[in-house]
């Protein structure tokens, strides 16, 4: 019942996704007109989807023993499918349960190399926009809700604000969470492109942990993120 209610409340977002798809088709016809007029085409944005952690670095462990890296990957893959469906260019940092380090003998050195490789990938795309997927955890199990962090520039702040508002409206009604600057998060401190890191929820809260593992909830989450990113890219 809960899932049905959630999906019903997300109806406007699904309608938005369909609208965005239609607009992207209209965008293609506008592009054809631009070519015939020899006008320069706008450079396409590439959405880089980062499934946090992976391989030896499992990230946090949920209250039922599931690794954060696994949930991150499931959500990232769904988001990639949805943004692809909406017509956006995407790149994934990882598509399997692996780390992306290139050097290092110790776990700490591998972790440092892994983060540097993620930064390098984002900064190698001139028109990149990063969405990094993570899950939160806290010793006190009562805390819940998605928390969005933004990188250094003003575009990141605007993106995070839109994402936080949409996640509160559709998935965490009543939440007072506000987007925060990603201080002390290596990836977000070192990218030269706009980006937001989404802690989708708390793996330490039993109810939210169950939702975050649920494919229907993951789909709803990705629908909200994809619709917000699409809306944001259309306005920038």
Identify the DSSP state of 195.
E
Which stretches within the chain are classed as H helix?
2-9, 11-36, 68-85, 107-124, 154-170, 186-190, 206-213, 215-235
Q: Please, which residue, 59 or 201, has the CB nearer to Zn ion? A: 59
Nearest distance from C-beta of residue 134 to Zn ion, angstroms: 4
Q: Tell me the HSE value of 127 on the side-chain side, using a 13 A CA sphere.
A: 10
Closest contact distance (angstroms) between CB of 200 and Zn ion is 10
Could you give the 3-state DSSP secondary structure of residue 93? coil
> Hey, what are 167's tokens?
């996640």
Shortest CB 219 distance to Zn ion, Å: 21
Using Cβ positions, the residue closest to Zn ion within the complex turns out to be 134
Q: Cβ closer to Zn ion: 116 or 134? A: 134
User: Per-residue contact track with Zn ion, 117 to 146, x per CB under 5 A?
Assistant: -----------------x------------
Q: Check: CB of residue 218 under 8 Å from CB of residue 212.
A: yes
* 52 touching Zn ion, by CB under 5 A: yes
Of 134 and 193, nearer to Zn ion (C-beta) is: 134
Q: How many residues bind Zn ion (CB under 5 A)?
A: 3
In whole angstroms, what is the distance from residue 164 CA to residue 182 CA?
14
d(CA 81, CA 90): 9
Measure the CA–CA gap between 226 and 79, rounded to whole angstroms.
7
Q: Which stretch binds Zn ion (CB under 5 A): 4-12, 48-56, 74-82, 218-226?
A: 48-56
Question: Residues 54, 59, 179, 195: which binds Zn ion (CB under 5 A)?
Answer: 59
In the complex with Zn ion, which residue's Cβ is closer, 13 or 203?
203
CB of 116 to Zn ion, least distance (A): 17
Q: Which is nearer to Zn ion, 50 or 162 (CB)?
A: 50
Return the structure tokens found at 225: 């993120």
Residue 82: CB minimum distance to Zn ion, A: 21
- Rounded Cα distance, 154 and 180, in Å: 12
Residues that bind Zn ion (CB under 5 A): 52, 59, 134
């Amino acid at each position: 019942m809960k899932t049905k209610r959630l999906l019903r409340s997300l109806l406007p977002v699904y309608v938005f996704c369909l609208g965005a798809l239609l607009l992207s088709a209209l965008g293609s016809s506008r592009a054809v007109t631009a070519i015939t007029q020899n006008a320069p085409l706008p450079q396409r944005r590439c959405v880089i989807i980062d499934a946090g952690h992976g391989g030896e670095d499992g990230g946090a462990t949920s209250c039922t023993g599931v690794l954060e890296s696994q949930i991150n990957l499931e959500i990232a893959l769904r988001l990639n499918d949805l943004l692809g469906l909406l017509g956006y260019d995407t790149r994934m940092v990882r598509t399997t349960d692996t780390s992306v380090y290139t050097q290092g003998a110790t776990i700490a050195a591998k972790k440092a190399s892994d983060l540097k490789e993620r930064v390098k990938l984002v900064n190698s795309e001139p028109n990149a926009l990063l969405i990094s997927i993570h899950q939160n955890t806290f010793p006190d199990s009562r805390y819940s809700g998605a928390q969005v962090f933004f990188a250094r520039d003003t575009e990141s702040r605007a993106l995070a604000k839109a994402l936080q508002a949409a996640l509160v409206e559709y998935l965490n009604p009543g939440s007072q969470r506000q987007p925060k600057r990603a201080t002390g998060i290596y990836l977000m401190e070192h990218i030269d492109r706009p980006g937001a890191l989404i802690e989708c929820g708390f793996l330490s809260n039993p109810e939210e942990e169950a939702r975050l593992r649920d494919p229907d909830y993951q789909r709803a989450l990705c629908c909200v993120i994809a619709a917000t990113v699409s809306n944001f890219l259309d306005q920038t």
